[in-house]
Amino acid sequence: MQRRDATNPLPALTASNHSRTHTIALAASLALIAFSLRTPITSVGPILLEAARATHLTPTGASILTTLPSFCFGVFGPLAPMLARRMGSERALLVLLVLLTAGTALRVVPSWQALYIGQTIACFSIGLMNVLMPGVVKRDFPHHVALMTGLYSAAMCAGAAAAAAATAPAANAIGHVFGNVGDNAWAWALALWAVPAAAAIVMWLGQFRAGGIRAGKRASKVRGLWRDPLAWQVTLFMGSQSSLAYIVFGWLPTVLRMRGMSAVNAGLMLSLSVMMQAVASLLLPFVIARFRDQRAINVSAMILAGVSLTGCFFAPLSTMWGWALLLGVAQGSSFTLGLTVIGLRSNDSQVAAQLSSMAQSIGYLLASSGPFIAGSLLHATGSLYGLAGLCAGICVLSSWFGYAAGRRAHVQVKIEETAA
């Protein structure tokens, strides 16, 4: 039997190295999951015209398709805590990743029914993971929440940008290499985004731990949140800026193509904008630290969003890359601010969790109307002026809600301890 030397640091070093390796692998797994949370959404816009033409999708049907993501997030997101209680966060994420992969892959069938069903399954999964992921990050990286949130947000934006940029070129390449695919190359290009989701399943299985559920013995019940004006201001700020974001995801490539830009370049403009969102999200915390509250920066972000969208709609196409960059700065900032005020307006983590659930469920339901109204206006008028007016109105409303949500205050609620 080998004798263990108490003065030998090797066992401690081995344990430390193993822990560090596990931490890096876990962070990489979460980043890959985050990468897959927007690819089914931003992959649709660049080839929406081809998909609608091939499946005989009506203008109303196309509008509904672009509305599905935010609608599913709002309707299904609140189910996440119940699923986590029943299965544990690890098992829940695994099941949802499988559903995400299946729904994304189903879009390979070139019919509007398969496109709708696949997109709904994918967005159902994403809606629940949107809610679960921040809790997993906070639990497993309690001392590095800001760093991991930045990595998580950047990975999400990178996935969104990659899907926006690569889907149209992938469809062109598939159609060129596989001639028998023909007019259905767009469907194969959409289904390709099941690959990173499948890779995330493999990586997450490596981190999956049996019996890893960490349920507490007691739970807090928050009362009075839905009657608090500040809670509604936070929710409406989240919903209005999200509405603008999903209008951009769903319709900006189509708008640019209407103006004469190719499908590939229109997708690249959306990709460029989303990549800049990642940069803005990572840098914004340093800017927020210089302000006493968030009123001025919330309003500034929405004004910049309105100005940059106007440029995307009407400025010369040769300047579009500059407007896309500005739009990315504005929307990356507004999204991060929408999440930030949830925490800053809450007294503790229990209130923050409930306010986050309220802001995401109601906010995304409100946001779901944006792409539908945008598509209806675009197809009814054939002009960009109605769409520009809609976006300007949303920016004004969001500025007002952002100003109200940005003041230094906390939501007024009562917390009661109850048995879990």
What would the DSSP string read from start to end of 189-208?
Answer: HHHTTHHHHHHHHHHHHHH-
Lowest mean pLDDT among 16-20, 277-281, 396-400: 16-20
Length of the chain in residues, anyone? 420
- Give 4's pLDDT tier (boundaries 50, 70, 90): very low
Q: Tell me which of 166 and 9 has the higher pLDDT.
A: 166
Instruction: Please say whether the dihedral angle defined by the alpha carbons of residues 61, 63, 69 and 72, taken in this order, is positive or negative.
Output: negative
Q: Which CATH number fits domain 27-215: 1.10.10.10, 3.30.465.10, 1.20.1250.20, 1.10.274.10?
A: 1.20.1250.20
Lowest mean pLDDT among 42-46, 95-99, 140-144: 140-144
Q: How far is CA 69 from the centre of its chain?
A: 9
Is 54:184 a contact under the CB 8 Å cutoff?
yes
Cα pseudo-dihedral 10, 15, 20, 24, rounded to 10: 130
Residues 6+ apart with CB under 8 A from 296: 406
pLDDT at residue number 356? 76
Q: Per the structure block, which two tokens stand in for 77?
A: 């997101």
- Nearest Cα neighbor of 302 from 242, 235, 372, 369 is 242
**Equal CATH topology for 27-215 and 219-420:** yes
pLDDT at residue number 2? 43
Domain layout of the chain by residue ranges: 27-215, 219-420
- Give 75's pLDDT tier (boundaries 50, 70, 90): confident
For residue 236, CA distances in Å to 127, 162, 215, 286, 302 come to 18, 29, 31, 25, 13
Is 249:270 a contact under the CB 8 Å cutoff?
yes
DSSP run (H or E) holding 12? helix 10-35
Burial class (CB in 10 A: 0-12, 13-18, 19+), 311: middle
CA distance 338 to 355: 12
Is 230:411 a contact under the CB 8 Å cutoff?
yes
The pLDDT > 70 percentage for the chain reads 86
Please compute the mean of the pLDDT values over residues 331-354 and round it to a whole number.
78
pLDDT at residue number 414? 79
pTM (predicted TM-score) = 0.74
Lowest mean pLDDT among 98-112, 140-154, 253-267, 391-405: 140-154
pLDDT in tens, 128-159: 888 777 767 767 776 665 567 667 777 888 88
Per DSSP, the chain holds a count of helices (H) and strands (E) of 16, 2
Q: Tell me which of 289 and 338 has the higher pLDDT.
A: 338
Longest distance between any two alpha carbons in the chain, whole Å: 84
Q: How far is CA 264 from the centre of its chain?
A: 23
Q: To which CATH superfamily is domain 219-420 assigned?
A: MFS general substrate transporter like domains (1.20.1250.20)
- Give 16's pLDDT tier (boundaries 50, 70, 90): low
3-state secondary structure of 44: coil
CA distance 249 to 392: 17
- Provide φ and ψ at 193, rounded to 5°: -75, 5
pLDDT in tens, 297-321: 999 999 999 999 999 999 999 999 9
For residue 178, CA distances in Å to 67, 104, 189 come to 32, 21, 12
Is 370:249 a contact under the CB 8 Å cutoff?
no
Whether residue 45 is predicted with pLDDT greater than 90 in this model: the reply is no
CA distance 20 to 26: 10
- Nearest Cα neighbor of 416 from 362, 339, 354, 335 is 354
pLDDT in tens, 249-263: 888 988 999 899 988
Whether residue 330 is predicted with pLDDT greater than 50 in this model: the reply is yes
Q: What are the residues facing 418 on neighbouring strands?
A: 219
Q: Per the structure block, which two tokens stand in for 207?
A: 């981190």
What rounded mean pLDDT belongs to the chain?
83
Residues 6+ apart with CB under 8 A from 77: 127, 128, 130, 131, 357, 360, 361, 364
pLDDT in tens, 266-280: 888 988 898 898 888
pLDDT at residue number 144? 63
Is 196:159 a contact under the CB 8 Å cutoff?
yes
pLDDT at residue number 339? 75
Please compute the mean of the pLDDT values over residues 358-366 and round it to a whole number.
84
